[in-house]
Amino acid sequence: MRVLFYCANLSGSGHYRCVYPARALRRRGHRADWQVGINFNPRTFDPTDLSYDVYVIQMAQFREAEALLGRLAALGKVGLVEVDDHARATPFYNPAFRVFRGRGGKARLLEECVRAADGVTVSTPELAELFAPLNPNTFPLPNCIDLEDPAWKPRAEKEEGRVVVGWAGSPTHLEDFRPLVPVLEALCRRYPRVKVAVGGPEEVFSLLGQIPEGQKEYLPPVPFEKYPEMLARFDIGLAPLQDNAFNRCKSDLKGLEYSALGIPFLASPLPSYRRLVEEGKNGFLCSHRREWFGRLSLLVEKEELRRRMGEAAREIVERRMSDHYAPLWEGMLEALLLRRRLLSAVESVSAPN
């Protein structure tokens, strides 16, 4: 089987939803490639490279993608749409709000592409429930870590005498992080050895204005291959999310990233994290400030507990490697390819001479 992934980017989502599945399929003997963006003939909408059986379009949210999906069907090829967010529920504070929900928003275009596709892959069961009415061939395929990727074997540069409480992400999580600021301020007052590290958006780091300079650190954005190295500096990871429709469809990816590096973490009790976290074993779920502060204090004080929970987290994520889910991708793609070939055969027989 020959599969081409059209990635929206090569940052986190592009790797987890395209590059890692492609690599896992390669290890199962398939030809699987990826590229950023789609290439097609602007006159016919044929893909530039017609040698593939299956084309996966990540976050298809433009008219050209809809036309390409139609052309792929006519050519007897499989066209899939990959979605990892509830675009229609993008909250107003998210920088992508205007893109998806503003005037002429792309959420509607994404849904039209979903309808036109042979199938849809999503990252959570909650997204599957949303998109199944639009396309019955909707498959929840969870995010996985490719532990074969050398990036996930970084050198851990821990600070002697410090306990680093860290978070890294994108500016879209500014309001998710904000409620933790008073907790982190109180934590730093109680424990002078605590340092709060924020990786990525300066806007999030700027929320820590009341924390002394010596107890906070800003880590600038880095390419994906350097991202695990950034996270490896943390002793405790944070995964706060506000409880809203958008975040309830989010995956447990942040927790997986921490776990891959043996870092215990605290997360908001949203659906994906309820499935991932074994309370007190690999992490903690925290609903309000008292819980965040209490669990953080416990981990700051007990180094041995951090070590045990980090080891357990690593063991759990080893069961979520991309190779473990490759048979699901393989079976789904082969079934859709067979379906497309049968449909094409029926259409050719039914066509008038």
Q: What is the pLDDT of residues 313-340, one digit of tens each?
A: 999 888 888 888 999 999 999 999 999 8
Helix (H, G, I), strand (E, B) or coil at 199: strand
**Amino acid 69: pLDDT:** 94
**Structure tokens that stand for 215 in this block:** 């107890």
**Taking residues 61-69, what's their average pLDDT?**
89
What architecture does CATH give domain 150-319?
3-Layer(aba) Sandwich (3.40)
Are 2-144+322-350 and 150-319 equal in CATH topology?
A: yes
Question: In the predicted model, is pLDDT for residue 149 greater than 80?
Answer: yes
Mean pLDDT taken over the chain: 93
**Taking residues 186-207, what's their average pLDDT?**
97
Question: CB of 16 within 8 A of CB of 144?
Answer: yes
**Amino acid 40: pLDDT:** 86
**Amino acid 178: pLDDT:** 97
Any idea what DSSP says for residue 159? P
User: Which pairing describes strands 31-36 and 2-7: parallel, antiparallel, or unpaired?
Assistant: parallel
Question: CB of 287 within 8 A of CB of 268?
Answer: yes
pLDDT higher for 159 or 250?
Answer: 250
Spelled out in words, what is the top-level CATH class assigned to the domain 2-144+322-350? Answer: alpha beta
**Taking residues 214-239, what's their average pLDDT?**
96
Question: In the predicted model, is pLDDT for residue 103 greater than 70?
Answer: no
**Taking residues 163-172, what's their average pLDDT?**
95
Encode pLDDT of 11-38 as tens digits. 889 999 999 999 999 999 999 999 998 8
Encode pLDDT of 233-280 as tens digits. 999 999 999 999 999 999 999 999 999 999 999 999 999 999 999 999
Q: Domain ranges in the chain?
A: 2-144+322-350, 150-319
Which residues, in sequence order, are CB contacts of 41 under 8 Å at separation 6+? 47, 48
Which residues, in sequence order, are CB contacts of 67 under 8 Å at separation 6+? 45
The pLDDT confidence band at residue 94, using thresholds 50, 70 and 90, is: confident
Question: In the predicted model, is pLDDT for residue 207 greater than 90?
Answer: yes
**Amino acid 63: pLDDT:** 86
Query: Whole-model pTM?
Result: 0.92
**Taking residues 105-125, what's their average pLDDT?**
93
**Taking residues 40-67, what's their average pLDDT?**
90
**Amino acid 352: pLDDT:** 64
**Taking residues 190-214, what's their average pLDDT?**
97
- How far is CA 269 from each of CA 129, 180, 283, 285, 287, rounded to the nearest angstrom? 20, 14, 11, 5, 6
Alpha carbons within 13 angstroms on the beta-carbon side of residue 61 total 20
